[in-house]
């Protein structure tokens, strides 16, 4: 399939975009990455994802697919050769989907809460909640990996992609707050997993360096402060 | 399949539980059902099966628990393949999953904002709900059902939520059929289906439940 048949509309710092990149890399799918300016959205993006107007969007031929988890499942079904991303057993798939929803809806928002926490007390409270979530994910990892290196077992799978895409922002959150999130004394299995994940060839080079993400955090915070100051003087 | 192999932990008014019941009915799967006392005290089995969220529905198949209704409907479709709920092509399946995700993220919360608020907040919530339904009308297009000619995955995800619309209309003072006639037509079409008609609670009873919830929340 020619590279131009598969296009990914994305933005490098977005973990949701990174997920799709991991999946494309794991399946060795040639594709064209079309970076998007999220402050001024392109016609192509608005046309391809009119409901959410967000990245990532995968365009296969002329058909757009949106929502990172939907895209990853689509990739797994269309390019169905190895490696399989989702498990083959329906119950294992249900378990994987459950944890994916938990990670996206419950756990990662806690990282955002930590980034937005302004005083030491709320930072500490946010970190505590993160640890509770990570303990659950540590157990999920132990159950899912069956003694092997990844959630998917010997190979990277769906849950590795779903959680792994956040590692850059987790590291950035640690640098920004000076607090540890992935702590080998608390979640040793996940710490080991994170190192293996980050050095996998399908992942290498996809997630921006934490320092770049820290700068983005500082920029978001400055913008939010400016908007708040603006609003209070009106 | 023996009836005892499949057990659903249920709450009568939950549209999320209805999704699972409709899916099982479509597949002709026999199952046992156990009503949970959501306000009085959740059962040991529920708390053990769904420790993180402690919510219904929970489906136990051969004792193995599954949570989150859309996830459960996926599982039902994969485990009992006939008749298929998801469409055949990968792209159509992606569209179905997209709409299911959209409905899950937006619809019930928008409705909740209508009965939980008043004044400007409520007006904004109504506007949001109508916009969501218009998007769904776009997804439906000229088709009878979201997947085409046959009742399927997205219809199952969406239809139970419509039992709460009567309550939204009463408290929000508007009419879904006037604002979104195509959506109303699709609703009637689905309600004509046996699996749906036999499963869904009476909207009047849902209204009474929501009225009770409003009192509990101190809204008047």
Range of the domain at B172: 90-217
CA B29 to each of CA B25, B65, B160: distance values in angstroms, whole numbers, following the listed order: 6, 17, 19
Would residue A100 count as lying in a domain? yes
Would residue B147 count as lying in a domain? yes
- A73–B94 C-beta distance less than 8 A: yes
CA A134 to chain centre: 15
B135: confidence class by pLDDT, cuts 50, 70, 90: very high
Which of A69, A98, A162 should one mutate to test binding to chain B, selecting the residue with the greatest count of B CBs within 10 A? A98
Whether residue A204 sits in one domain with residue A131: yes
Whether residue B46 sits in one domain with residue B19: yes
Domain count for chain B, please give it: 2
Whether residue A200 sits in one domain with residue A110: yes
Whether residue A38 sits in one domain with residue A12: yes
- B64–A70 C-beta distance less than 8 A: no
| Choice among A211-220, A225-234, B71-80 with the minimum mean pLDDT | A225-234
Whether residue B45 sits in one domain with residue B23: yes
Would residue A219 count as lying in a domain? no
Q: Which of B64, B93, B98 sits opposite A66 (nearest CB)?
A: B98
Q: Which of B52, B74, B90 sits opposite A94 (nearest CB)?
A: B74
| CA separation for the pair B190, B193 (Å, rounded) | 5
Strand partners, B210: none
Q: What is the pLDDT of residues B45-58, one digit of tens each?
A: 999 999 999 999 99
Rg (CA), chain A: 18
Would residue B84 count as lying in a domain? no
Whether residue A149 sits in one domain with residue A50: no
- A70–B101 C-beta distance less than 8 A: yes
Residue with tokens 């590279």: A3
Whether residue B139 sits in one domain with residue B159: yes
Whether residue B57 sits in one domain with residue B122: no
CATH number, domain with residue A96: 1.20.1050.10
Whether residue A139 sits in one domain with residue A108: yes
CATH number, domain with residue A64: 3.40.30.10
Q: Does the pLDDT at position B2 exceed 60? A: no
A1: confidence class by pLDDT, cuts 50, 70, 90: very low
Predicted local distance difference test score (pLDDT) of residue A179: 87
| CA separation for the pair B165, B176 (Å, rounded) | 8
Q: What is the pLDDT of residues A104-121, one digit of tens each?
A: 999 999 988 887 887 888
Whether residue B116 sits in one domain with residue B63: no
Whether residue B108 sits in one domain with residue B14: no
Whether residue B106 sits in one domain with residue B164: yes
Would residue A195 count as lying in a domain? yes
Nearest to B8, CA basis, from B76, B106, B90: B76
Among B32, B51, B79, the domain boundary falls at: B79
| CB within 8 Å of B42: residues ≥ 6 apart | B36, B54
| Choice among A1-10, A146-155, B84-93, B210-219 with the minimum mean pLDDT | A1-10
Predicted local distance difference test score (pLDDT) of residue A186: 94
Would residue A229 count as lying in a domain? no
Would residue A121 count as lying in a domain? yes
Structure token digits, residue A207? 């997630």
Q: Could you tell me what percent of chain A has a pLDDT over 90?
A: 78
Q: Report the predicted TM-score, pTM, of the whole model to 2 decimal places.
A: 0.94
3-state SS assignment for residue A34: strand
Whether residue B65 sits in one domain with residue B95: no
Among B20, B47, B79, the domain boundary falls at: B79
Whether residue A203 sits in one domain with residue A114: yes
Nearest to B90, CA basis, from A198, A179, A169, A79: A79
CA distance B191 to chain A (A): 27
Give the mean pLDDT of A2-29. 92
| Choice among A3-7, A161-165, B32-36 with the minimum mean pLDDT | A3-7
ipTM of the complex: 0.93
Q: Does the pLDDT at position A233 exceed 80? A: no
| CA separation for the pair A183, A186 (Å, rounded) | 5
CA distance B205 to chain A (A): 31
Range of the domain at A8: 4-76
- B90–A78 C-beta distance less than 8 A: yes
Pairing of strands A63-66, B58-61: unpaired
Contact A231, A28 (CB under 8 A): no
């Amino acid at each position: 399939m020619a590279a131009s048949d598969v296009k990914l509309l994305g933005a490098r710092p977005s973990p949701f975009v990174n997920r799709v990149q991991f999946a494309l890399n794991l399946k060795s799918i040639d594709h064209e990455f079309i970076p998007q300016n999220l402050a001024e959205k392109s016609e192509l993006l608005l046309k391809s994802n009119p409901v959410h107007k967000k990245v990532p969007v995968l365009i296969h031929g002329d058909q757009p697919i949106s929502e990172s988890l939907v895209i990853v499942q689509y990739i797994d079904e269309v390019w169905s050769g190895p490696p399989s991303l989702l498990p083959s057993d329906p119950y294992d798939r249900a378990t994987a989907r459950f944890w994916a929803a938990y990670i996206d809806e419950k756990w990662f928002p806690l990282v955002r809460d930590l980034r937005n926490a302004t005083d030491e007390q709320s930072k500490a409270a946010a970190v505590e909640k993160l640890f509770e979530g990570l303990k659950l994910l540590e157990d999920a990892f132990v159950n899912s990996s069956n003694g092997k290196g990844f959630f998917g077992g010997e190979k990277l799978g769906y849950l590795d992609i779903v959680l792994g895409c956040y590692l850059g922002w987790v590291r950035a959150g640690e640098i920004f707050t000076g607090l540890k999130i992935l702590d080998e004394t608390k979640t040793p299995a996940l710490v080991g997993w994170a190192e293996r994940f980050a050095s996998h060839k399908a992942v290498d080079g996809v997630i921006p360096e934490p320092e770049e993400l820290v700068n983005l955090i500082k920029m978001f915070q400055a913008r939010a402060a400016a908007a708040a100051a603006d609003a209070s003087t009106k | 399949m023996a009836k005892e192999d499949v057990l659903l932990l249920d709450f009568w008014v939950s549209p999320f539980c209805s999704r699972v019941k409709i899916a099982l009915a479509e597949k002709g799967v026999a199952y046992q059902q156990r009503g949970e006392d959501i306000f009085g005290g959740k059962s040991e089995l529920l708390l053990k099966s769904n420790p993180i969220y402690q919510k219904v529905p929970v489906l136990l198949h051969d004792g193995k628990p599954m949570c989150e209704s859309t996830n459960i409907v996926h599982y039902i479709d994969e485990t009992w393949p006939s008749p298929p709920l998801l469409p055949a092509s990968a792209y159509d399946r992606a569209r179905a999953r997209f709409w299911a995700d959209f409905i899950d993220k937006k619809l019930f919360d928008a409705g909740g904002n209508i009965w939980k608020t008043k004044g400007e907040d409520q007006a904004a919530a109504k506007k949001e709900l109508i916009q969501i339904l218009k998007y769904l009308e776009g997804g439906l297009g000229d088709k009878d059902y979201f997947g085409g000619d046959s009742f399927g995955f997205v219809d199952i995800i969406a239809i139970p939520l419509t039992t709460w619309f009567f309550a939204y209309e009463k408290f929000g003072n508007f009419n879904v059929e006037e604002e979104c006639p195509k959506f109303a037509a699709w609703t009637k079409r689905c309600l004509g289906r046996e699996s749906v008609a036999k499963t869904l609670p009476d909207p009047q009873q849902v209204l009474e439940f929501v009225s009770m919830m409003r009192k509990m929340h101190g809204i008047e």
